[in-house]
């Protein structure tokens, strides 16, 4: 008696097509991401690139972006670290703390245009704090301070989230033992918590800085697009598009290089 040969099952066709289907779909997305980035490089020459950078709006924009993102990063770290620490210390079901945690995350998913309107309504001349600020002689909108505020608003969550996840991972026993060894709360924070969270905090700061550097929508609405005053790199790109595509392309390549370098740094840092 012979055993019948196993009949090929209908699903084997699907099995054969499976790798191909996966590959085609994945490749489509990769292409969509890679093609525009490649276009940034391939449609220019080193000479055209340098020429694009000679535009008079480039240098002020670079300088302004450096100054404002440094300021907003400092602001984010200085205020975000204590906030994340406080949030991480509260345990249990207290809904207030979870509400605060969600609130801090909100700018990540909030459309930048909404952030711009919200900032105007809070700090604008006719906004909530506008009259108070005006009597104090401070006008926030359409100034460098507005640029920094907009960047801080949108970028802070990236840092706070990273810090929070590091802080929550701290072994409570270890922190308690540190105190039994005579260390005050500040000393425990600076000698145990910070050194142990360093990598995560740096990664969060890098992401946060990148987000601030790319900030466009909220800045445009809240700080305007005044060359030399509030025109950061992304706004300069936007403006250049109307006159000189090469300048827009040159600036874009700079930002792309910075973003890529930052990602590589974060990945290398995370592996150590």
Partner 1 sequence: MTAPALTVELTGEIGPMKLSLAMEAKGDAGPVVIVGPNGSGKTSVLLSIVGALRPRAGRIVLGGATLFDAERGVDAPVEARRIGFLTQRYALFPHLDVLGNVLFGVPAGPRPQRSQRARAALRDLGVEDLAGRRIDGLSGGEAQRVALARALAPGPGALLLDEPLASLDVGVRREVRAFLAAHLRTLGIPTVIVTHDRADAEAFAGHVLVLEQGRVVQQGTLAALRAAPATPFTRQFAAGERQDGAE
| Span of 81-89, 111-119, 136-144, 179-187 interacting with partner 1 by CB under 8 A | 179-187
Contact 116, 218 (CB under 8 A): yes
The region of 10-18, 94-102, 143-151, 167-175 touching partner 1 under the rule CB under 8 A is 167-175
Q: How many CB atoms lie within 10 A of CB 254?
A: 18
The Cβ-side half-sphere exposure at 119, using a 13 Å CA radius, reads 31
**Interaction between residue 169 and partner 1 (CB under 8 A):** no
For position 178 contacting partner 1 by CB under 8 A, the verdict is yes
CB 255 within 8 A of CB 182: no
196 part of the interface to partner 1, by CB under 8 A: yes
Which residue in the set 140, 192, 220, 221 belongs to the binding site for partner 1 (CB under 8 A)? 192
6 is an interface residue for partner 1 by CB under 8 A = no
Residue 170 as a binder of partner 1 (CB under 8 A): the answer is: no
Question: Rounded to an integer, what distance in angstroms lies between the CA atom of residue 96 and that of residue 212?
Answer: 28
Sole binder of partner 1 in the list 183, 226, 245, 258 (CB under 8 A): 183
Closest CA to 214 of 174, 172, 263, 175: 263
Closest to partner 1 by CB, 29 vs 181, is: 181
Note whether 168 binds partner 1 by CB under 8 A: no
Contact characters 117-156, partner 1, x per CB under 8 A: ----------------------------------------
Closest-CA residue to 252 (of 240, 267, 266):
240
Residue located via tokens 């950061």: 232
Name the phi and psi angles at 92, rounded to 5.
85, -165
Residue 56 sits in the site that holds partner 1 (CB under 8 A) = no
Q: Where are the beta strands (DSSP E) in the chain?
A: none
Stretch that binds partner 1, among 9-17, 87-95, 104-112, 171-179 (CB under 8 A): 171-179
Helices (H), 127-193: 130-135, 144-168, 172-180, 185-188
**Cβ distance to partner 1 smaller for residue 62 or 183:** 183
- What is the length of the chain? 272
For partner 1, which residue of 137, 195, 268, 271 counts as binding (CB under 8 A)?
A: 195
From the CB of 165, what's the least distance to partner 1, in Å? Answer: 17
Q: Which two tokens stand for residue 242?
A: 């109307």
Between helix 233-243 and helix 245-271 the angle, nearest 10°, is: 150
Question: Does 163 contact partner 1 by CB under 8 A?
Answer: no
- Chain residues binding partner 1 by CB under 8 A are 171, 173-174, 176-184, 191-192, 195-196
């Amino acid at each position: 008696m012979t055993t019948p040969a196993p009949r090929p099952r209908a699903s084997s066709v699907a099995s054969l097509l499976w790798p191909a289907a996966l590959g085609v779909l994945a490749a489509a997305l990769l292409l969509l991401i890679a093609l525009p980035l490649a276009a940034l490089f391939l449609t220019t020459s080193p000479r055209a690139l340098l020429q694009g950078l000679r535009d008079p709006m480039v240098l002020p924009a670079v300088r302004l972006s450096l100054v404002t993102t440094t300021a907003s990063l400092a602001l984010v770290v200085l205020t975000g670290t204590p906030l994340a620490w406080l949030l991480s210390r509260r345990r249990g079901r207290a809904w207030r703390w979870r509400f605060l945690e969600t609130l801090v995350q909100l700018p990540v998913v909030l459309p930048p245009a909404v952030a711009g309107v919200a900032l105007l309504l809070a700090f604008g001349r006719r906004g909530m704090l506008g009259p108070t600020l005006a009597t104090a002689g401070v006008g926030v909108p359409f100034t460098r301070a507005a640029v920094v505020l907009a960047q801080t608003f949108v970028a802070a969550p990236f840092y706070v989230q990273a810090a929070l996840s590091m802080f929550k991972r701290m072994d409570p026993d270890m922190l308690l033992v540190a105190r039994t060894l005579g260390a005050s709360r500040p000393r425990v924070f600076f000698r145990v918590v910070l050194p142990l969270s360093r990598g995560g905090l740096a990664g969060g700061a890098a992401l946060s800085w990148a987000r601030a550097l790319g900030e466009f929508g909220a800045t445009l609405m809240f700080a305007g697009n005044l060359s030399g005053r509030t025109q950061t790199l992304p706004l300069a790109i936007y403006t250049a598009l109307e006159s000189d595509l090469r300048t827009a392309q040159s600036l874009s390549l700079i930002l792309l290089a910075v973003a890529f370098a930052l990602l590589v740094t974060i990945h290398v840092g995370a592996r150590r």
